[in-house]
Amino acid sequence: MAGATALIAGRGALPAHLARALAASGAPFVIAEVEGFAMDNPDGLPVMRFALERLALLFDHLHENGVTRVVMVGAVTRPRLDPERIDPRTAQLLPRIVPALAQGDDATLRAVIALFEEEGFAVVGAEAVAPDLLPPPGVLTQARPGPADERDAARAVQIVAALGAADVGQGAVVAQGLCLAVEALPGTDAMLAWVAEVAGACRPDPKGARGVVCKAPKPGQDRRVDLPAIGPATVEAAARAGLAGIVVEAGGVLLLDPAETIARADRAGLFLWVRTP
């Protein structure tokens, strides 16, 4: 299995999407799923589960399967380590991981990437496997943003940049210039649910701009991992929140199932704007 790719998988649909892309190209691959963060697996793909406490054993498994390239994909929150499960070799690695866990997501990812690279694996982004995941710049839908939407988008971009600099989140909702919600650890779905249930009533003018949800990577983050993603479910959640559209940073946000995502946005009357920074 020389030259295989390993998908280090967390929650969501993205790992299976990449697996399909690899299978379609005939490229060999294995899926190593982080224990406790099951990926969406409608195709019943074979999956090996591993715990961070036994990271060294994962490295052995990948080497045995001829893996040379690694893609870290899917949602994973910082796990709690169980000291009783740590094997002796992984114990030698944890002094580099544990301090990073306390510093935030970016620091943790950088530490984990460094360990994989030192083991001889090339760490690449999801777009290296499936280039179609990065949508082209422009408005992809029938609906288009108006001047008020453009102002809300510009304000949301500023807020997301500030959140990202503090390693907090990668999304925000702005309507009529006001920030209705920001993304934190619970994620985009929770943020949009909050707007639908509570914050949507905070719009000063009920007949004014409905608002936008903006997604963008954190400033300075390693874009090989943890790029934000949207898909059909994001459109449904934005529609329930009463928003006018979705704004994502060109080159910095992955688009899952583009045809279905755009079709649902068109049915809901939402715009999808891939905005150039």
Over 60: is that where the pLDDT of 2 sits? Answer: no
Order of strands, sheet of 48-50, starting from the edge strand that comes earlier in the sequence: 48-50, 29-34, 4-9, 67-73, 122-124
Residues 154 and 67 in one domain: no
Q: Pick from 16, 84, 138, 262: which is nearest to 7 by CA?
A: 16
How many alpha carbons lie under 13 Å from residue 109 in its C-beta half-sphere? 24
Q: How distant, in Å, are the alpha carbons of 95, 111, 118, 120, 125 from that of 115?
A: 12, 6, 5, 9, 16
Q: Assign residue 95 the CATH number of its domain.
A: 3.40.50.20
pLDDT band, very low/low/confident/very high, at 105 (cuts 50, 70, 90):
low
Residues 148 and 263 in one domain: yes
pLDDT for position 145: 98
Residues 79 and 168 in one domain: no
Q: Write down which residue in 72, 106, 131 finishes a domain.
A: 131
Residues 82 and 158 in one domain: no
pLDDT for position 104: 64
Residues 106 and 144 in one domain: no
Over 50: is that where the pLDDT of 47 sits? Answer: yes
* Highest-confidence segment of 42-46, 78-82, 259-263: 259-263
- Helix, strand, or coil here: 192? helix
Residue 112: which domain range? 4-131
What average pLDDT does range 115-138 have in this prediction? 94
**For 184-222, what is each residue's pLDDT tens digit?**
888 899 999 999 998 878 899 989 999 999 999 988 888
Residues 216 and 268 in one domain: yes
Residues 76 and 179 in one domain: no
pLDDT for position 268: 98
Q: Pick from 38, 60, 55, 56: which is nearest to 47 by CA?
A: 38
**For 222-246, what is each residue's pLDDT tens digit?**
888 878 999 999 999 999 999 999 9
Q: Assign residue 141 the CATH number of its domain.
A: 3.40.140.80
SS (H, E, C) 226-272: CCCEECHHHHHHHHHCCCCEEEEECCCCEECCHHHHHHHHHHHCCEE
pLDDT for position 1: 44
Residues 59 and 148 in one domain: no
Residue with tokens 């990926």, as numbered in its chain: 39
Over 80: is that where the pLDDT of 101 sits? Answer: no
- Asked if residue 268 lies in contact with residue 243, where contact means CB atoms within 8 angstroms, the answer is no
Over 50: is that where the pLDDT of 115 sits? Answer: yes
Residues 69 and 111 in one domain: yes
Q: Write down which residue in 103, 131, 159 finishes a domain.
A: 131
| Total tally of structural domains belonging to the chain | 2
Contacts 24+ apart (CB under 8 A), 264-267: 264/232, 264/235, 264/236, 265/140, 265/141, 265/143, 265/235, 266/141, 266/142, 266/143
Residues 114 and 197 in one domain: no
**For 132-176, what is each residue's pLDDT tens digit?**
999 999 999 999 999 999 999 999 999 999 998 888 889 999 999
Average pLDDT, the chain: 91
Residues 138 and 266 in one domain: yes
Over 80: is that where the pLDDT of 108 sits? Answer: no
Q: Write down which residue in 110, 131, 152 finishes a domain.
A: 131
Residues 139 and 262 in one domain: yes
Indicate the length of the chain as a whole number. 277
Q: Pick from 17, 2, 10, 49: which is nearest to 129 by CA?
A: 17
* Whole-prediction pTM: 0.85
